[in-house]
Amino acid sequence: MELPFAESWKIKMVEPIRKSTREEREQWIKEAHYNVFQLKSEQVYIDLITDSGTGAMSDRQWAAMMLGDESYAGATSFFNLKNTITKLTGFEYIIPTHQGRAAENVLFSYLVHDGDIVPGNSHFDTTKGHIEGRHAIALDCTIDAAKDTQLEIPFKGNVDPEKLEKVLREHADHVPFIIVTITNNTAGGQPVSMQNLREVRTIADKYNKPVLFDSARFAENAYFIKMRENGYQQKSIKEITREMFDLADGMTMSAKKDGIVNMGGFIATRLKEWYEGAKGFCVQYEGYLTYGGMNGRDMNALATGLDENTEFDNLETRIKQVEYLAKKLDEYGIPYQRPAGGHAIFVDASKVLTHVPKEEFPAQTLTVELYLEAGIRGCEIGYILADRDPVTHLNRFNGLDLLRLAIPRRVYTDNHMNVIAAALRNVYERRESITHGVRIVWEAPLMRHFTVQLERLS
């Protein structure tokens, strides 16, 4: 008899979490203006708003923190982190930052200018914000298949080579670089194939353009390449990782994801020009070059986390839990972006709340309903996150409208997944009675979903 699958770790510390009543949640979400970002953590039972900085660090990471070197300049912790990143990626030049959006801010301050066009696969919120905030255009070149949530193909996060080449053919003079997000978060945590990365590299070389990877979940992308792409089954995650980054000129990283730390990020590149251009902005915005926005203990924890999370067993445990939740949703007939992504389940709100018009934000409505049902906090990845068109100032309704349930690494058990699935089932079973959504009463001009204020319509 084949043994059942089990986690590749054991638990040695726990944190209590509290259940609440429906009446309490009704009041709390109203006080939060129906924006789950504004809830207090103690008002949440199972927190799936993000997998960023919410993972459980290992004993090796905690031990590494005790050896952190907090020297202002030239800390051994920086060189420990630098050596780990260079070994994994091949990139020589490293700039630490306090998180991924800081890495974007530092690098884009040098690379992105008014009137530029940055093509890529479904830019995530901060990436798009840092581009559009500089009066440039973030252009989506994801394959069309990504918009069909029920279509099962192995690499739904891929860049469409024809779309990309068309942009470069028509606007090459305005393109500072090509960006590829691995995995593609906005499209549902979907991976990008090695073959597609090679195609992007070929097109980039044809037009003499550099390639940047948004690499928050690069290890998960490598796992999917190993499991789904021909010729990679016998290769290690570290070997696949190096092959991926050999096709890029640089990377930005929110290390709070696949680095499994609570805070941290970095820029890494093989281009001395990028390093020289960006390092002044690091000193201006983040700190000195050998700590950036990080302290020594966190750099040590990150170096260990990057090493641990580029091993197969760690990744398999994490991704199998996401698959487990997906199978429970399959039992209940709940539609989500298929196949299941690496870090989250993305429920297709437009197929669940069919009576809520897009102008009333179905995914945000579903996010609120799930919280009211069981105190579970997800995150809208849809029409509110999309912001307004910078030219017309109209809401952008041309993408997917998804409820993201991001699973923190090494935090919850499969029993929690059962609760999440049952709560979604309860909402799904009463979906016909949900006919109205929410409207915006206040919003910020960029990245509005973090602070937007809403009211329920009835």
Active site residue 72: yes
Residue 398 assigned to a binding site: no
Q: Are 172 and 116 in contact (CB under 8 A)?
A: no
Catalytic residue among 32, 187, 204, 216: 216
Residue 113 appears among annotated catalytic residues? no
Which helix (DSSP H) or strand (DSSP E) does residue 254 occupy? Answer: strand 250-254
Q: Which amino acid, residue 94?
A: I
Rounded distance between C-alpha atoms, residue 267 and residue 107, angstroms: 8
101 annotated among ligand-binding-site residues: yes
Active-site residue flag, 125 = yes
Is 100 known as a binding-site position?
yes
Give me the half-sphere count of Cα atoms (radius 13 Å) on the Cβ side of residue 292: 30
> Is 185 known to sit in a ligand binding site?
yes
Out of 125, 249, 298, 348, which one is annotated catalytic? 125
Q: Is 222 a catalytic residue?
A: no
Cα dihedral 176, 180, 184, 190 sign: positive
Burial class (CB in 10 A: 0-12, 13-18, 19+), 16: exposed
- Give long-range contacts, CB 8 A cutoff, 24+ apart: 423-429: 423/370, 423/373, 423/374, 423/376, 424/329, 424/332, 424/334, 424/347, 424/370, 425/332, 425/334, 426/373, 426/374, 427/352, 427/366, 427/369, 427/370, 427/373, 428/332, 428/333, 428/334, 428/352
Catalytic entry in 47, 69, 160, 214: 214
Q: Is 51 an annotated catalytic residue? A: no
- Whether residue 430 is annotated as binding a ligand: the answer is no
DSSP per residue, 79-139 = HHHHHHHHHHH---EEEEESSHHHHHHHHHHHH--TT-EEEESS--HHHHHHHHTTT-EEE
| Residue in 257, 279, 328, 416 annotated catalytic | 257
CB 295 within 8 A of CB 301: no
Residue 114 annotated in ligand binding: no
Q: Is 216 a catalytic residue?
A: yes
One of 5, 63, 72, 397 is an active-site residue; which one?
72
Q: Which of 343, 449, 445 is nearest to 404 (CA)?
A: 343
Given the residues 93, 124, 177, 245, the one annotated as active site: 124
Radius of gyration (C-alpha) of the chain in whole angstroms: 21
CA distance 216 to 110: 21
Residues annotated as catalytic are 72, 124-125, 214, 216, 257, 449
Binding region: 100-101, 185, 214, 217, 254
Residue list, annotated binding site for pyridoxal 5'-phosphate: 100-101, 185, 214, 217, 254
